[in-house]
Every structure is written in C-alpha cells, then in structure tokens.
Amino acid sequence: MRYLLLTILAALSLNAGMWSTVSSLNMKEVHKDAEYKIDTAGFNPRIYEFTTITEPKMKCVLIFSSSNENSSPTMQCIKLKD
C-alpha cells in the first residue's frame, strides 16, 4: 500500500511538470536585450532587460533577488520616446 501511494504521488508530480511544458509549447519566447548583476552585499540581484513583443516601444526591466527564498521578482516597464 505504501509503495502504491508513493508511486501515485511521484506520477502526479511528474505530470505537473509535463503539463507546464506541454501547455507552453506554442508560446512565443522573449529574448533578453541585456542581463547583468549588481554587486550588493547579500542580495545578489540579477537584472534582465527586454522589449515586449506586442509593444515594440516598451522596455521592461525584471529583477530577481536571492535575499530570501520567498522574495518575488520585480518588474518595471517604461515606454520609450520616439
């Protein structure tokens, strides 16, 4: 019984990963314009800049930080001047 339960739990977790892969197969990929780190003590922020697909005059900056495992990414988008 214990092995059956472990097998079912393993199958469910594998299906979750497979579903996210299959469901995003036909999505367009956004390529980053720039990627860099900022030298700070303890936060290790990684910054990614990209131009949006639907609005080519829109530039977004996405910041990931490892300050703690519950920190959320931060994103700021600005419209470029003509």
The structural domains of the chain, with segments of one domain joined by +, span 2-79
Tell me, yes or no, if the pTM score tops 0.75. no
Sign for the CA dihedral angle at 54, 55, 56, 60 comes to negative
Q: What are the tokens at 13?
A: 């977790």
73 backbone dihedrals φ, ψ, rounded to 5°: -65, 155
pLDDT band at 35 (very low <50, low <70, confident <90, very high): very high
* More confident call, 76 vs 5: 76
**Is it the case that residue 44 has pLDDT exceeding 90?**
no
**Is it the case that residue 1 has pLDDT exceeding 60?**
yes
Cα Rg of the chain (Å, integer): 19
Using DSSP's 3-state secondary structure scheme, residue 22 falls into helix
**Is it the case that residue 60 has pLDDT exceeding 90?**
yes
* Among 13, 18, 78, 71, residue whose Cα is nearest residue 52: 78
